[in-house]
Every structure is written in C-alpha cells, then in structure tokens.
Structure 1
C-alpha cells in the first residue's frame, strides 16, 4: 500500500467536525478502497478550546489557516472556512501555490474566483475539487464532470437551497405566512440570523454559476444571473397554485439557446405531479437534460454536516486514488467566454395575480392590455378581495377583487409590458405579482 495521504483541514464547524468523524469511522474501509490510508495531520480553527465531540489529540493545531496551507507535512488542504475572500481565498491560493491538492465546499469563493483558481491548479499539476460546494450530499459535480462527459447538456434546473424549499413547503402544508415560516427555520437552524443570502436567491445563484460552467464549458459569471428570491411569495400565491395543480419552488435554471446561455433564479410554479414538484422540506434536486442519456434527476440532502462531509471525503478519496481531472471538466484555458441570453426573451406560461378595483370596465381593460401584447389566457379566477380606504380619483370607498390569471406561452417581456400598462391605467391597488411556470 502507498504511503498515507496527509490532510490539513481548515474550519471545524458543523461540516469540518463531521469530516473528522467520518474519517475516524470509515478510515479502514477508505484505505482499502483507495489503496492508501487517509491521515488527518493538522487542523485550523478560531477556537481551540471548544468541545466539538471529536478526537484531535494526535493532530497538529494551526491558528492561521494560511500557515497550515503552506505546511510541507500535508498533501491536501481541505478548506471549510467559507467566504469569497479573506482567509479562505488566501489559504486556498497558498495551498495551490505550494503544490497542494485542495478540496473545498466554498461556493462563494469558486463563483468569484473559480476560473483563476482552476488555472493555478492546472499550472501546479494538482486537483481542485468542490463536490460539496453545490447541493450538499448530491454528487452533481461528478455527474456533470465525469458521468455525462459523453453528452451535450442543453438544460439543467434544480432546487439548490434547502432553507427556501423548507419555507415554501411549510407555507403550503400549514397555510402559514412567510414570516412565520422563516422564524421557525431560524429557530431550527435551517436559516441564518440574517437570511438574505438564502431567501434572496443569492446562495442558489452561486451554486448555479458553477453548474452552468460545468454543463456548458463557459467561464463562471455569477453577475449575469437573473435573481429573484422568495420574499414576495404570499399565502394567496401558495393557495392559488395549489388549486391550479401546482407547487411553488425556488428554481435555478440554466439553458443554452441560440442567443447564448440563460441563467435565472426565481420562484416557479411546477406541476404537483412532476418529480421536482414532489421534492419537499430541506431536500435538494437537480434535473439535467442531455442528448444521449436524456433526462435524469438527482435528489438528496442539500445541506447538513454529515451529507456535506460525505461529498468532501468523496473528493479526498479521488485524490487518494490518483484520479486527476480538470477542475471545471476541461482545461481552464479552453473555457469559453460567457455569452448571456436575455431572460426577457424567455418564453413560457405565467401565473399573474392582481388586486383589481371592483368597478365597471376594469376587467375588460385588463384583458385588452393582455391582448395588445398578444397574450392569451388559459384561465381566469376571481376571488373576493378587501375594502380599500379610498378609490383613486373618486375619494369614495372601494372594494378590490383578487384576479388570478394563467397565460399560455408568451415572453417575459410581453408580460412585463402588459402589467406596466395595467398599473398605469389605475385599475389595480397593488403591484402585480407574476410567477413563471415550468412544465419540468
């Protein structure tokens, strides 16, 4: 058997501690599978005194992760610090410069610096592996980079944030508000004290940027992703979607078309009967369309210490076996510049919810505005609304009605133009809500 593969691990939070436990539990089996033993030699974390429930008695301790990354006594640097810059970035660069393999779960770092770091890894002849950066325990990176190497991928779509999926699932099942669900998610540890990165869609966008690059061979460009979070989703939308046979999910979607690559993150109505529509709670899912294999979908835990540690150790095992692959599935120098396709050219069905003043001519005017933009309506549902203090231009009390429309296929640009005109006409009391529909 070869000499052991020596690890230095930076970051002993939930995931880091789980990695240590996994290596201790399955170390003998890993040695057999990999042909060499994997040995944890050194760690770095901010608080040395904290009880993490793991045995670090025979492990060297580094206060500075950058010094650990440069340590000649390790072969692989495992970065579990997090963040797009600061100690995480500096330590990963240092490890690569010193000819160390790197395993990371840091999607923010790779979304910002992935191509540059991939070039450095290739120059130094070492691996930069990041399975744990996207979808936790789901092996989607290996699937795109290795298993589907003989396919042309045309589209991928996924649920990539367990916090958002948990909130939307609870809202539907229990008919409780977004704010109430979010508080519960924070109490249970599914959401951060500042949840903006999750519920605003930014966490999902970082993950999508990496999957897009792997799927289409383009350079990573997270700034070109259209992003909408779930904060605007209310119970009326959840209930209407349910009655119409849909569920609302925060989807990440990337597809290649003649105009370039379209990347978008937004709430989406998907059929209840679809495979992705049945993915509930904190689970993640990724669906891939490829020319030879057809359609496939991977579902599993998208976060959590043990699931993410499983992916981290899978990457370490590849290095132990001597499996060497280009970081993004192809040489970094051969990755194509990202060419953005306009999201407003996206065609599909749309769900629209309006609070319409209950007065003569209002509904006809709305229908006319839709017709002017060539938008055909598949269904229209009216519901009782609420009393308003004053009706514009009259000063008298008014009632509103909730009008819910589902369109046939049209473009996002057409929907936006029609809704802008409807709001200008003064027939609605609040900004329109519209959500894209995906057949999946």
Structure 2
C-alpha cells in the first residue's frame, strides 16, 4: 500500500540542472510516487536570484536562505545542485545533522572532501548519493559501488568531459585548430564563457578522483590526480595521430598497479588507435571502460552533461534515497578499507609520441637514439622528414616509466642538434 504522507524534498539550486529536476518532479509525480511507495513533495527551492521566473516552480517555495532550508526538520531529502566547495559543504553537512539524506551532483566537493561528507552521513544514519557527479545520465557510480562490489576492478579508462571531446572531435573531423573548435563549442553551448575547468582538465580530474576512490576502495583526492589539459594540442598533432591510425582524446585513467599495492589516477590527452571503441565516441558524448577480474571489460556510454541528462541521474538517486527513508534502511556508504597509496605520475608505465624539430645533417638520428637509450627508453618507430636544412623526427616509444620518458625529453631539449620539442603526447589503448 502507498503511504499518503509525502516525503519532502528541498532543492538547493535551480539553474540548468535544478530547473530540470523541479520540472521532472512535477510532470512525473505520479510515476515517482508509484516507484517510491509514497508521494514526493518539493517543499522548498533555494536560489540566489528570487525574482527570476522559473517555469513550473511555485514562487511560494522559493527562498534565498539555503541554510535555513537545509536544516528544516521536516525535510527528508536535500538535493544539492549549487556546485563548488562552499557553501555546499556546510549545507550538506547541516542537512545530515538535521536528519535528511542528500543527493548531490557536486563533483568538485566530492573530489575535495568526500570522507567528511560520508562521515557526516554515517553519523546521522542518512544516505549520500552522487550518481550525477560523474558522466551525468550514464549509470557509472552505482555499478561501481554496487553491481561490481563483489569483483576486483583493475582499470577505469574513459572520456568523462563532453566539452573537450567535442573540441577534439571537431579538430579531427574538420581540421580546425583548437581556437576554432573552442569557439564552435562555445557557440553551441557546450563550453562555458570561461572554459578553464573543462579544457585544462580540472573537471575530468575531479571525476577521476571519484571513480578511482570507488573502484579501488581507497580515498583519492583531486590533488592525487595528475592533470594535463588540451590547450596545447594543435592541428599538426591531430594529423600526426591520423598518420599512425589514431585519434586524440582527453582521457581519465585510473589503474591498479600490477602488484596490486598501489593505484594511479591521471587525466591527459592521448593518442588511441581508431580500432579502440573510445575512438568512435563523437561530439559531446562520454564513454567509460571498466576492466575487472570476473566481469572483464564493460563499457558505459551516453550523454555526459546537460540539464536533462544530469537531472535523470539526480532523480534516480532521489528514488533510492526516498525508498530507504520509507524502509528505514540505508544505501552503500564509503568503502575505503583498502587504503592503497596513490603513486605519482612518474611511476606510470606508458608510451610516448614525440615530435622533434632537428637540424638536417648526418648523425642527428644516432644522437637522438643514443639519448633515448641512455635513459632506458626503447624506440618503437621513427619517421623522418626533411627539406632545405629543416627536418622533423617523429619518435614513438615502447612502454616505459613516465619519469624516464620525461627525463629523456629534457635531455633531448639540451642537444645542439634539436631545435625544439614540438609535441609530446602519450599513446594509450594498445
């Protein structure tokens, strides 16, 4: 039988995502009630600009006092879609202290301080759900937390930022430069007016920290994630990747070490073969590979951003949190029992694609090859082009520790015959 007294929900933030959450709660009210076992009532909406018209939101519910709304004793679930670290952290902690469960899409806060949030939820006997914090509508957090809880995850590899994937896809498909592709992404609404969080890899790094923490049962913070953006990627890099039968993607890579004693988390551009499934992920879509002992390879694909897709994930979490409230139960909490150390980027074993501007004279190739050998890095292939005293060497290495590859590059920069290191990119997925 359905309970007639509604579960009350507070919504903190009513922007692109929050307005979609409010709309779906209204238009799908009957379905949500049937799935939960009780009606859900939007009891308050905290905003910064109360005078703005919000279609489908009763103006009587709107308040600028988010703190008061979060600590109301009659609220069952707080949905936080404000973003940022503060005041979101204080609001979420206050909600837990006053008996509410929390659904959040706040990747920045989770990557910065998820342990304290989990501890506050546990102390109050409440739930913390955050499916929408990573890859929007794509079910990824729940499969890692629950469906694969009995398996051993070894690697999470994927495209988790739609803006950067759109930019790189345009550079690959049209030959556009980075600036042109970014302008198009901005015009279409994929990139913010200030795209720094996306193009410098901060957004993807926060998601990588969250995914690594769940996958490896280890606390991983944003500071633990090696991060590189794509602002230095050129049309020449894209063309060089094509000649290798590859494309360029900004990847989030979380790995367990071969001996199982440590983990790594990193975000950076990389060349991947056209035969790899991630190479075919176009436009602003996201896709993530999960590799585990028993399940093998799993791929999750779909829209990774946008109001409606993100709201879909938020509402899924809302249903789970409300069901738990009705049943007097709790969902999964933090699992950090493994406490594995996070190794630095220098320990990561990877391959490099290096483009060198060199003098076109005898002995240059031998000198470059010697430099690689001195640092213990084996060369896989070399391509040389030269004309009228100008020459380019494109070197692709075998796998080696990233620290060795970095030392090799620094040594190459010091050679008299090397005029410049034009491009450095890792090669993944082979």
Mark yes or no: TM-score above 0.5.
yes
Cα distance in 1 for partners of 2:373, 2:220 equals 39
Residue 320 (1) aligns with residue 322 (2): yes
Cα distance in 2 for partners of 1:178, 1:40 equals 43
8 Å Cα contact 1:400/1:429 also seen in 2: no
Cα distance in 1 for partners of 2:164, 2:416 equals 34
Cα distance in 2 for partners of 1:284, 1:101 equals 28
Matches within 5 A, 1:148-159: 148-159=148-159
TM-score after normalising by structure 1: 0.92
Distance verdict in 2 for CA 1:431–1:379, change over 3 Å: closer
Number of the residue aligned with 1:47: 49
RMSD (Å) for aligned C-alpha atoms: 1.7
Count of residues paired in the alignment? 422
Matches within 5 A, 1:30-429: 30-52=32-54, 54-57=55-58, 59-85=60-86, 87-257=87-257, 258=259, 259-322=261-324, 324-328=330-334, 330=335, 335-383=337-385, 399-429=389-419
8 Å Cα contact 1:8/1:40 also seen in 2: yes
CA offset digits 1:19-74 (Å, max 9, x no partner): 1111122211121122111211110111122233x222275222111111012232
1:439 Cα deviation after fit:
2.1
1:348 Cα deviation after fit:
3.0
1:336 Cα deviation after fit:
4.3
Cα distance in 2 for partners of 1:356, 1:21 equals 60
Q: Give structure 2 stretches of 5+ with no counterpart.
A: none
CA offset digits 1:332-380 (Å, max 9, x no partner): xx54445122322222322111112223322221122122233332222
Cα distance in 2 for partners of 1:381, 1:217 equals 43
1:419 Cα deviation after fit:
1.7
Cα distance in 2 for partners of 1:250, 1:411 equals 20
What SS does the corresponding residue of 1:287 show, helix, strand or coil? strand
CA offset digits 1:309-328 (Å, max 9, x no partner): 00000000001222622333
What SS does the corresponding residue of 1:73 show, helix, strand or coil? coil
Distance verdict in 2 for CA 1:280–1:384, change over 3 Å: farther
Cα distance in 2 for partners of 1:306, 1:327 equals 26
TM-score after normalising by structure 2: 0.94
8 Å Cα contact 1:154/1:289 also seen in 2: yes
CA offset digits 1:217-271 (Å, max 9, x no partner): 1113221111111112111110110111111111111111135111111111111
Greater shift after overlay, 144-153 or 351-360?
A: 351-360
CA offset digits 1:384-409 (Å, max 9, x no partner): 57xxxxxxxxxxxx843232121222
8 Å Cα contact 2:153/2:290 also seen in 1: yes
Greater shift after overlay, 229-238 or 317-326?
A: 317-326
8 Å Cα contact 2:359/2:417 also seen in 1: yes
Cα distance in 2 for partners of 1:246, 1:195 equals 26
